[in-house]
Every structure is written in structure tokens, then in C-alpha cells.
């Protein structure tokens, strides 16, 4: 892996399919990350807790963790062995990302604007987004919008119960501080890996 490939980045736009108003995030990501790490970046940007099965789909090919693919009827590829730059197409690349096969959170990932990154900046880097991500295990988009309607209706018989469960949840607010912290952990791990690679290269010289 060359220095240029390590520093190359792309713009990743994440959209929660079917959400209205649209729930989206934008992140600058290194193209050198594996698809397993791309999954972790999406989890961090969206505020999910990585507690469920997931898959990335590009064309007809599915990328998962090996243990997740054991029960499937169709062939899968180990997401930890494929780097993002290996699946990128000219212009932009669209990736289908499914998280939680019960609630079925479908995401549309668009990767574009591949370019040199700033070596002084830690990537992945949060750029922006709109609207809160639904709570885990709330029953998919239908269940989420039911919760939003109950929270907005103080006369609803379940209003107090749901309010107690969700606290100060606001469907219009993005917790940007939490996103930056979560992405910062991934960036920190990546920087540590680069330091180890440089030390190893010097030792082999």
C-alpha cells in the first residue's frame, strides 16, 4: 500500500432509505479502509450500536463478516478482506447497506469525489447531516414514525410511557458531538496503524 493510497479520501453520503424527511449524513472517508471498517463508519455516523447482522451489497455481490454469512443460501465475500478503493467505480459508486434484518434499516451509500486527503487531518471526518436516526429495535420505519406521532401527541395514552423511554429524543436533532467522538475513535485507530506501518518499514530498511 503506497503513501498516496493511504491518504486518498472520498465523500460518503449515507441516506436512510424511505425516511421522510430524509435522514442523512455526510462523511469524508479514506478509500484504504476495508468494507468492514466502512460498516463501522456508517454505524458511527448514524448512531447505531452495531448489535445486529448487516450486509453491504454492490451489484450482485454481498459483503459480510464470515460468521454472518454461514447461514445464507447465496455466496458472500468477507468484508474484512476487501478495501473500499477496490470496489469504486468511475464517477460515483452506490452501495446498498442493510442493518438489522428484523427492523430492516436500508441505507443508500453514495461514494464520490475521490481525491487526495490532508495528511494532517484524521479521517473519517464528519461533514454534516439532518434529522435524528431512529432508536434501535423500534420496529423499523413504521414503528419509528408511530413513536414520533405519539411523542407529538400529549393526549395519546402512551405519550408519557414513550417519553420516559426516549427521554429528550427530538427527531429533528443530530447529535453531532457523539458522531465526531465515534468517528474520532476510528480515525485514532487508523493513525495508530499508520504509525506501526512506518515503524515496521524503517525496521525493514
Q: What average pLDDT does the structure give for the chain?
A: 92
**Higher confidence at residue 142 or residue 198?**
142
Query: Please, what's the b/e burial string for 158-180 (b: 16 or more CB within 10 A of its CB; e: otherwise)?
Result: eeeebeeebeeeebeebeeeebe
Tens of pLDDT, residue by residue over 89-110, are 999 999 999 999 999 999 999 9
Percent helix, strand, coil in the chain, to 5, is: 40, 25, 35
Domain ranges of the chain: 3-131+174-204
Domain 3-131+174-204 has CATH 3.30.70.920: no
For the entire predicted model, the pTM comes to 0.92
Whether 29 shows a pLDDT value over 60: the answer reads yes
Give residue-wise pLDDT tens across range 136-184: 999 999 999 999 999 999 999 999 999 999 998 999 999 999 999 999 9
* Neighbour order of strands in the sheet with 24-30: 77-78, 61-64, 54-58, 92-99, 105-116, 8-16, 24-30, 125-130
> Which three cell numbers, joined as nine digits, stand for 161?
410511557
Neighbouring-strand partners of residue 30: 9
- The DSSP element (H or E) to which 115 belongs, if any, is strand 105-116
Amino acid at each position: 500500500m503506497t503513501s498516496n493510497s493511504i491518504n486518498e479520501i472520498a465523500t460518503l453520503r449515507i441516506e436512510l432509505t424511505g425516511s421522510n424527511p430524509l435522514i442523512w449524513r455526510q462523511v469524508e472517508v479514506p478509500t484504504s479502509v476495508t468494507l468492514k471498517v466502512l460498516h463501522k463508519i456508517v454505524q458511527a455516523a448514524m448512531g447505531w450500536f452495531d448489535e445486529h447482522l448487516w450486509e453491504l451489497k454492490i451489484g450482485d455481490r454481498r459483503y459480510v463478516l464470515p460468521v454472518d454469512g454461514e447461514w445464507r443460501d447465496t455466496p458472500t465475500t468477507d468484508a474484512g478482506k476487501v478495501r473500499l478503493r477496490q470496489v469504486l467505480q468511475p464517477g460515483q459508486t452506490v452501495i446498498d447497506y442493510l442493518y438489522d434484518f428484523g427492523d430492516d434499516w436500508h441505507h443508500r451509500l453514495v461514494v464520490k469525489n475521490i481525491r487526495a486527503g490532508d495528511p494532517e487531518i484524521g479521517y473519517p471526518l464528519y461533514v454534516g447531516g439532518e434529522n435524528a436516526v431512529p432508536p434501535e429495535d423500534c420496529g423499523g420505519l413504521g414503528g419509528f414514525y408511530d413513536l414520533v406521532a405519539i411523542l407529538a401527541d400529549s393526549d395519546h395514552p402512551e405519550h408519557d410511557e414513550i417519553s420516559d423511554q426516549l427521554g429528550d429524543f427530538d427527531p429533528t436533532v443530530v447529535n453531532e458531538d457523539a458522531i465526531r467522538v465515534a468517528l474520532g475513535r476510528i480515525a485514532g485507530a487508523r493513525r495508530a496503524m499508520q504509525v506501526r506501518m512506518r515503524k515496521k518499514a524503517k525496521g525493514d530498511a
